[in-house]
Amino acid sequence: MRKVLTLKLFLIAIISGQVLLSCETKERASLPERVDFNYHIKPILVQKCYLCHGPDPSSREAGLRLDLAAGATRLLESGVTAIVPGSLSKSAVFHRITNSDPELKMPPPASNLELTDLEISLIKKWINQGAEFQPHWAFLPPKISNANLKSSIPEQIDAFLDEKMTEQRLSQAEPAEKYQLIRRLSYVLTGLPPGQKEIDAYLEADQPGAYELLVDNYLNDPAFGEKWASHWLDVVRYAETKGHEFDYEIQGAWRFRDYMIRALNADIPYDQLVREQLSGDLMVAPRLHPETGQNESILGTLFLTMTEGTHSPVDTKKDEADRIDNMADVIGKSFQGLTIGCAKCHDHKFDPIPTADYYALYGVLGSTRFSPIPAGNFKKKEEALQEVLQLKEQLKEMVGGAWEKPTTDSVPVLLVNQSQPVKATKDGNSGIVLGDFRGPDFQGWKTDGGAFGVGTTLGEPDFDIKTGELTGLKTGMASSRILGKGIYGALRSPDFKIDHAYLGVRARGKGGSIRVIMDNFQLISYPIYGGLDQKVNESDWENYIFDVSDWMGHEVYLEFLPGSYVRHTYRQDPDAYIEVAYATAFDRDWFYPEERSRYSPVNSLSQAVYRWEEGHPTAADVDYLNQQLTSGKLVRRFPESRKTRLGMDLLLAPIKDTVFIQGVSEGFARESPIFIRGNHMETEEQAVPRAFLPEILDAQDPFRDAGSGRREMVETILHPDNPLTARVMVNRLWYHVYGKGLVETVDNFGLQGKLPSHPELLDYLAITFREEGWSLKSMIKAMVMTDAFRRSTTSVNGEKDPENKYISHYPIRRIEAEAIRDAMLVASGALDSTLFGAPVPVHLTDFMQGRGRPGQSGPLDGNGRRSIYLEVRRNFLDRMMTTFDRPTPFNTFGKRDVTNVPAQSLFLMNDPFVAEQAGLMAARILAGKGQSTEERIREAYLRAFSRPPSASEIKAGKKFLASVPIHKETTGDSDPEAIALQAWKEYCHALFNMKSFIYLL
Amino acid sequence: MHHHKPLLNQRLSRREMLNITRCGFGSLAFMGMLGSSCKSRDKQSVDFLSQLATTPHYLPKAKNVIFLYMDGGVSQVDSFDPKPRLAKENGMDPTFKIDATQFNDNGKILQSPWEFKRYGESGMAVSELFPHIASCVDDLALIRSMVSNFPEHTNANYFLHTGSGLQGRPSMGAWINYGLGTENSNLPGYVVLDGGLVPPGGVDNFKNGFLPADYQASIMKTGEKPVANIQPDSSMAAFQQDKLAFIQKMDEKGQAKSDEVEAAIKNYELAYRMQSSVPELSEFASETRATQQLYGLFDEDPNTRSYGAQCLMARRLVERGVRFVELTCPYQKGIDRWDQHHGLKDGHERNAHAVDQPIAGLLKDLKSRGLLEETLVVWSGEFGRTPFAQGKDGRDHNPSAFSMWMAGAGIKGGTIYGRTDEYGYRVEENPVSIHDLHATILHLLGVDHKQLTYHFGGRDFRLTDVHGRVIKDVLV
């Protein structure tokens, strides 16, 4: 007895000794050999000092900034120096943080912030060691210090992970069972449970490459793109409507979803995807869909246009500022993991993003214009248009060849006066010319889309279709049917400030429209702005007048489109067109601009023909040539022209633009001044040159592009020296594979973001990603080929590392909203695995009300399509997706919440969709005739959990099935099949409600 | 990046919760679902501080909020802000400067079609539109100097609900639950009683924004199935309890365990309790005939009956500890909410008739039960209306001045705060912003609006952004 007691005491002593020992080692471990600024000191300063001593001067106290060495070590006005490297006693910081006097103590007690003893020790040691400042870790280029790299990426990943585990004295969990692993792998890569056959094959396979084969199969499954596209959709705040009051459609938004699925399946390199999403409209050689020939690159630009859209804002300038703010914020978070939006009103409180840098980006986005973009067969259209242009040239050559040859010695130099002065008449009416298209060119206006060709119609030969006779040369106008009707195109003016009460456009057309775009505002409609969009539906020339007197001083541009917007969706009939002679601004009466070039001298027929053939005749030349033609002095019979004309019509017929997306096009470089405290009504005088985060991404010149500057922005993001782009993306991939990012704050790599748990690994992956040609599939493959990915979920480390920061086991994860629904469809056999297409209308319940509600509800089961194809209406989000944490799409949400709320349980318990799928699954299981109950339970388990049931689970299942009471209203009294179905439906429903169904256990 | 735990609320950890509340489905069926919390509340002497799930910043006056949202914008000059000058200048062109309005179809000065009378000891003037509310004026603190930043519904609605004109921010009900936690774990902490009109901007007015999903409003209706999925399909109802017991048994046997999975298992118990506690909310049989009469449940007008049912349900919700209840207006065909761009007389009269008696009934009922002392009742639209006509007989939106009132916990009854100009067009004295209103509501709940923050996307967000001032003059 006594002995036992002694032994016990001894044991206690040992145990407590160990406890003491481990505490001590812990203490020692936590004060590192060498204190690192980024990892040890800055987190303290950010949390507890920078609000008053950080980069933002507006809230800085005592003139002290602790984010830069120069600021921390300079002599302050108070006569002390905050930090004297190497000397604690001379460093005022040391005295202030250790002071007990509340008047002197830092941080001040009123701030509710306090330094822990450990933090104080760290700061002390750091000062003693020389107080070395370093730039923020994420702003330094990634580097690999270890020279002995393993031969494969997965091995190297494991090596980095193992190193940390050894350091932390953590054991590794056992390898996962095959059932556990295949289910995990299948969900992670495809968002779907593994198929029965795959499970069987994998279980039987015992050759070493079996797992890799499985990985490759999943990576090549089209479902891979569907799963991984959904991750990116969270990042880009993907939605198919604009929200706000009437929830208008974002035209063609779903094509972005399909674009992303195709791109991921084809493993389009990430740098290409960045380029396309930010500047897909500017690609010299756009990427084409291999089968349909559609322009893939341009679909990426929907990234920029998925902002919300305000119906009738009274202040369009503010509205524009809000839109741009959203774009800037989403760009910053998506590609750089930076919270640029924080610098809108003041310099960023923590990151080196001065307000000026925010407005440098504002300029880029402000000179980007919204535009309908045709989404049809790009390749075919481009080729056909090239041919049509050639045929036109041929026609011209044919005519020119038949006419008199010019003598070169007498070609006059033509002086063209471009700018037209303000004309004022004595009664006070005044006006200016904004664009006069009766001459040969567009006077600096921009065309987009091809319909308006390369110049005006001035001098275009007009043939009688039947006889082929040349009836004359056309006068000048901007025409969207210069090549033929049905082609999309826009003609847009430079930006100008409204300084006259009216804008006037002389135009004609069918189904066309003239729009005054003010502050980039697109949702033009009554009551306020309706007058800024006028339909052009007269084949005779008319004067279209816009009363803009309410908006003096606003920045606007004019836009001519062959089609028009119906409920904010662009439509263009095959025979729609618009033609414009000129556009003016005036104060009272219609302003008629003189046609100057009409009266310029014509010296000789040969000169007129020469200029006409060269493609720059004056209006006078054309008049003159037409006179000559009428008086019979020029050949006018060209019967061959008929064939050429016919050829052109044949080429044009199949390429009419009918399908559009809401994309972007280039405007004119527009620099923005800083808005003081973010207020658009109060701006600084000087405009900020355009750039992309020049403070962080230094060594870039201001953007000089005459357009938006998006091209230069993309180059800055993809520049080899950019420290963020690759890191941010590999970290996103890691988060989706392992359930937690190496940097947990996946959208924030700034000073307030979390530090990487494995910095060397992150850098290694970032460098490898770039070196491997930005291949997303290769990176994902490497991440799932590791031992770490293949470990069991059972921790072997007790209470050590409770958050599993060091990934000694694979985490238990709840599957995403989409996967839960898709898994039910798979289990019930109702899944329709069709890829792509227009979204399935959202299923509406009584609890989903409000303006803009669709007239009809979508199907309860979403037609059995995968969840990614369900409509995303901002004001009517799918109830199941929302309940299971799919984010509300307004800003970047790279990391989803995983909440646990009763609405989730209620959904699984009571929603008719779940009951319906349980019924279908039951029917499916019963369809196999002659099976025993045990076999059926086995099938049910494989369908729901991708594993066979245990003996006790079978027993419990049988007992459950036998206990289901007969529900007479449903089954009737005696129909045994109906009774069985009822019981099995309850059983399948129970399986859907088990945690094994929605968790990767 | 996300702090999921309420800032002020030292909630129990999951394990602690599990240990305390686990009882399994078998025993649940025998539990009195709602009894305990409401019985103790009936005693007026109960110090509700002891029941709060949190340590507030100040001594709270209010425990719950009922927000009577007047969708569309009530005309201040026709309800609570009499302007005799409008009658004098009726039909004349306005001589003052007019801002751009939503429809910019601004007509002549339009006098109010309704008489104003003074009521109560305070002598507060109320128009004929609200004879019943008028009988409660001594409980109201009227603010006549409200201003909004937005002249359009959607922005103004988001602004009123979330403190930001942009879509996607957390609603005040979400903020309040985030800050204070819930008191009744069988019911959601933030309920919107949908009377038929979801305001422009949609359910995003009631969302959690970047706060975790737990804090979004549960939309309830007055009827048999107040909440989505609250009852199983009838063919599966009878067996549900056994099935849940089976599920629980299998889950407990399951291979791997984590706190998260345990919490998800426990969640089913809560959901099951909600199944009984939620439908009970709209069973009015237990209410006396007199009470039902008080709320207008026997009125000829179905809209009055409908809003009356919402008001009664609101009382039952706060009685059960639901922190924030918002009521939307009933849908009436032909008159678009309070948004009378034309037909002011008919529209405002019918809208007023629908809500007047129920609201007065609610105030009186809360008072008689001692609940008004701990419940803050807030009555407001998103903006006011113009004193001049739109067209002939309508009024356009006016964010430059409108009236709202509060009653109940911590409110100084019979107070009038702020003043508009002679036309009721602009505020002349003591302007109150939406941020100020939010700050005041939070203050009454014991929360300092500057300290209620949530870190998202790199910065600490507040309901009041960087603004907000508590309107002390309307407080006791």
DSSP letters for A261-288: HHHHHTT--HHHHHHHHHHGGG-SS--B
CB contact under 8 A, B167 and A243: yes
In the stretch 305-364 of chain B, residues with CB closer than 8 A to chain A read none
Q: Are strands B140-146 and B415-417 parallel, antiparallel or unpaired?
A: parallel
pLDDT per residue as tens digits for the range A120-150: 999 999 999 998 888 889 999 999 887 788 8
Instruction: Give the total residue count for chain B.
Output: 476
**Which region holds residue A520: left if phi is over 0, alpha if psi is between -120 and 50, else beta?**
left
Per-residue pLDDT band for B211 (boundaries 50, 70, 90) equals confident
Q: Is A512 helix (H, G, I), strand (E, B) or coil?
A: strand
Average of per-residue pLDDT across B178-201: 84
Give the residue among B321, B46, B20 at the shortest CA–CA distance from B191.
B321
pLDDT per residue as tens digits for the range A183-213: 999 999 999 999 999 999 999 988 889 999 9
Per-residue pLDDT band for B331 (boundaries 50, 70, 90) equals confident
A745 occurs within a structural domain:
no
A977 occurs within a structural domain:
yes
A906 touches chain B (CB under 8 A): yes
Is the dihedral angle over the CA atoms B121, B122, B128, B133 positive or is it negative? negative
Instruction: Give the total residue count for chain A.
Output: 1001
- Based on the domain organization, do A344 and A386 belong to the same domain? no
pLDDT per residue as tens digits for the range A701-714: 899 999 999 999 99
Number of domains in chain A: 5
The partner residue sitting opposite A994, judged by closest CB among B207, B214, B251, is: B251
CB contact under 8 A, A243 and B243: no
In the stretch 666-685 of chain A, residues with CB closer than 8 A to chain B read none
Distance of CA B390 to the CA centre of its chain: 30
Q: Can you give the pLDDT at residue A611?
A: 84
| A487-501, A634-648, B22-36, range with the lowest pLDDT | B22-36
In the stretch 717-746 of chain A, residues with CB closer than 8 A to chain B read 744-745
- Provide ipTM, 2 decimals: 0.83
Q: Can you give the pLDDT at residue A977?
A: 84
A901 occurs within a structural domain:
no
CB contact under 8 A, B233 and A909: no
Q: Can you give the pLDDT at residue A971?
A: 63
Give the residue among A7, A66, A71 at the shortest CA–CA distance from A37.
A66
CB contact under 8 A, B213 and A745: no
Q: Is pLDDT above 60 for B14?
A: no
Q: Give the chain B residue nearest A881 (alpha carbons).
A: B213
- Based on the domain organization, do A41 and A101 belong to the same domain? yes
Q: Can you give the pLDDT at residue B35?
A: 26
The percent of residues above 90 in pLDDT, for chain B, comes to 56
In the stretch 181-240 of chain A, residues with CB closer than 8 A to chain B read none
Q: Can you give the pLDDT at residue B33?
A: 25
Distance CA A914, CA A136 (A): 49
The partner residue sitting opposite B194, judged by closest CB among A745, A849, A965, is: A849
Mutation target vs B (from A906, A952, A1001; most B CBs, 10 A cutoff): A906
Q: Is A558 helix (H, G, I), strand (E, B) or coil?
A: strand
- Based on the domain organization, do A421 and A541 belong to the same domain? yes
Per-residue pLDDT band for B55 (boundaries 50, 70, 90) equals low
Q: Can you give the pLDDT at residue A699?
A: 67
A994 touches chain B (CB under 8 A): yes
CA-atom Rg of chain B in angstroms: 23
Distance CA A779, CA A788 (A): 15
Q: Is pLDDT above 90 for B457?
A: no
In the stretch 944-963 of chain A, residues with CB closer than 8 A to chain B read 952-953, 956, 960, 963
pLDDT per residue as tens digits for the range B61-120: 999 999 999 999 999 999 999 999 999 999 999 988 888 776 777 889 999 999 999 999
Distance CA B164, CA B174 (A): 14
The percent of residues above 70 in pLDDT, for chain A, comes to 93
Give the residue among B139, B98, B41 at the shortest CA–CA distance from B377.
B139
- Based on the domain organization, do A342 and A462 belong to the same domain? no
The partner residue sitting opposite A901, judged by closest CB among B1, B213, B256, is: B213
CB contact under 8 A, A752 and B100: no
Distance CA B174, CA A479 (A): 55
A141 occurs within a structural domain:
no
**Which region holds residue A704: left if phi is over 0, alpha if psi is between -120 and 50, else beta?**
alpha
Q: Is pLDDT above 60 for A26?
A: no
- Based on the domain organization, do A645 and A576 belong to the same domain? yes
Q: Can you give the pLDDT at residue A425?
A: 59
Q: Is pLDDT above 70 for A817?
A: yes
Query: Beta-carbon neighbour count of residue A205 at 10 Å?
Result: 14
- Based on the domain organization, do A291 and A400 belong to the same domain? no
First to last CA, chain A: 46
- Is it true that the peptide bond before A756 is cis, omega within 30 degrees of 0? no
Q: Can you give the pLDDT at residue A600?
A: 62
A229 occurs within a structural domain:
no
Is the dihedral angle over the CA atoms B154, B156, B161, B167 positive or is it negative? positive
Per-residue pLDDT band for A616 (boundaries 50, 70, 90) equals confident
**Per-residue tokens: A211:** 């797992």
Per-residue pLDDT band for A407 (boundaries 50, 70, 90) equals very low
The amino acid occupying position B451 is Q
Average of per-residue pLDDT across A960-978: 77
Higher pLDDT, B147 or B267: B147
SS3 of A738-807? HCCCCCCCCCCCCCCCCCCCCHHHHHHHHHHHHHCCCCHHHHHHHHHCCCCCCECCCCCCCCCCCCCCCC
Q: Give the chain A residue nearest B231 (alpha carbons).
A: A910
pLDDT per residue as tens digits for the range B277-300: 888 888 898 999 999 999 999 999
Q: Can you give the pLDDT at residue A596?
A: 63
A205 occurs within a structural domain:
no
Instruction: Give the HSE-up count for residue B66: Cα atoms under 13 Å, Cβ half-sphere.
Output: 27
Q: Is pLDDT above 50 for A19?
A: no
Q: Can you give the pLDDT at residue A964?
A: 85
- Based on the domain organization, do A316 and A389 belong to the same domain? no
Q: Are strands B190-193 and B218-220 parallel, antiparallel or unpaired?
A: parallel
Burial of residue A628 (CB within 10 Å: 0-12, 13-18, 19+) is middle
Higher pLDDT, A77 or A178: A178
Residues A748, B458 contacting (CB under 8 angstroms):
yes
**Per-residue tokens: A261:** 């699925």
Domain end point (choices A106, A134, A162): A134
A627 touches chain B (CB under 8 A): no
Q: Helix B14-21 crosses helix B259-281 at what angle (to 10 degrees)?
A: 50
Q: Give the chain A residue nearest B153 (alpha carbons).
A: A245
- Based on the domain organization, do A499 and A622 belong to the same domain? yes
Give A-chain residues touching B467 at CB under 8 angstroms.
none
Give the residue among A995, A589, A990, A494 at the shortest CA–CA distance from A793.
A995
Phi, psi of B471 (to 5 degrees): -85, 85
Q: Can you give the pLDDT at residue A315?
A: 85
A81 occurs within a structural domain:
yes
In the stretch 876-895 of chain A, residues with CB closer than 8 A to chain B read 876, 879, 882-883, 885, 888, 890-892, 895
Long-range contacts of the stretch A630-634 (C-beta < 8 A, 24+): A630/A472, A633/A605, A634/A403, A634/A404
- Based on the domain organization, do A691 and A607 belong to the same domain? no
Q: Are strands B64-69 and B375-380 parallel, antiparallel or unpaired?
A: parallel
Q: Is pLDDT above 80 for A484?
A: yes
- Based on the domain organization, do A399 and A286 belong to the same domain? no
Q: Is pLDDT above 90 for B175?
A: yes
Distance CA A482, CA A391 (A): 13
Average of per-residue pLDDT across B265-276: 84
Give B-chain residues touching A996 at CB under 8 angstroms.
251, 254-255
In the stretch 167-186 of chain B, residues with CB closer than 8 A to chain A read 167-168
pLDDT per residue as tens digits for the range A509-562: 999 999 999 999 998 888 788 899 999 999 999 999 999 998 999 999 999 999
A188 occurs within a structural domain:
no
Average of per-residue pLDDT across B415-425: 96
SS3 of chain B? CCCCCCCCCCCCCHHHHHHHHCCHHHHHCCCCCCHHHHHHHHCCCCCHHHHCCCCCCCCCCCCEEEEEECCCCCCHHHCCCCCHHHHHCCCCCCCCCCCCCCCCCEEEECCCCCCEEEECCCCEEEECCCHHHHCCHHHEEEEEEECCCCCCHHHHHHHHHHCCCCCCCCCHHHHHHHHHCCCCCCCCCEEEECCECCCCCHHHHHCCCCCCHHHCCEEECCCCCCCCCCCCCHHHHCCHHHHHHHHHHHHHHCCCCCHHHHHHHHHHHHHHHHHHHHHHHCCHHHCCHHHHHHCCCCCCCHHHHHHHHHHHHHHHHHHCCCCEEEECCECCCCCCCCCCCCCHHHHHHHHHHHHHHHHHHHHHHHHHCCCCCCEEEEEECCCEECCEEECCCECCEECCCEEEEEEECCECCCEEECEECCCCCCEEECCECHHHHHHHHHHHCCCCCCCCEEEECCEEEECCCCCCCCCHHHEC
Phi, psi of B279 (to 5 degrees): -60, -30
> Could you tell me the residue range of the domain that residue A552 belongs to?
379-658
Domain end point (choices A134, A166, A183): A134
A978 touches chain B (CB under 8 A): no
Domain end point (choices A658, A685, A700): A658
Give the residue among B412, B444, B458 at the shortest CA–CA distance from B180.
B444
Q: Give the chain B residue nearest A322 (alpha carbons).
A: B166
Residues A449, A487 contacting (CB under 8 angstroms):
yes
Q: Is pLDDT above 50 for A506?
A: yes
CA-atom Rg of chain A in angstroms: 35
The CA–CA distances, whole Å, from B43 to A529, B319, B372 equal: 58, 12, 13
| A517-526, A778-787, A893-902, range with the lowest pLDDT | A893-902
Residues A915, A907 contacting (CB under 8 angstroms):
no
Give A-chain residues touching B21 at CB under 8 angstroms.
none
- Based on the domain organization, do A522 and A619 belong to the same domain? yes
| Residues β-bridged to residue B191 | B218, B325
Is the dihedral angle over the CA atoms A188, A190, A196, A201 positive or is it negative? negative
The amino acid occupying position A538 is E
Give B-chain residues touching A802 at CB under 8 angstroms.
none
- Based on the domain organization, do A555 and A575 belong to the same domain? yes
Per-residue pLDDT band for B233 (boundaries 50, 70, 90) equals confident
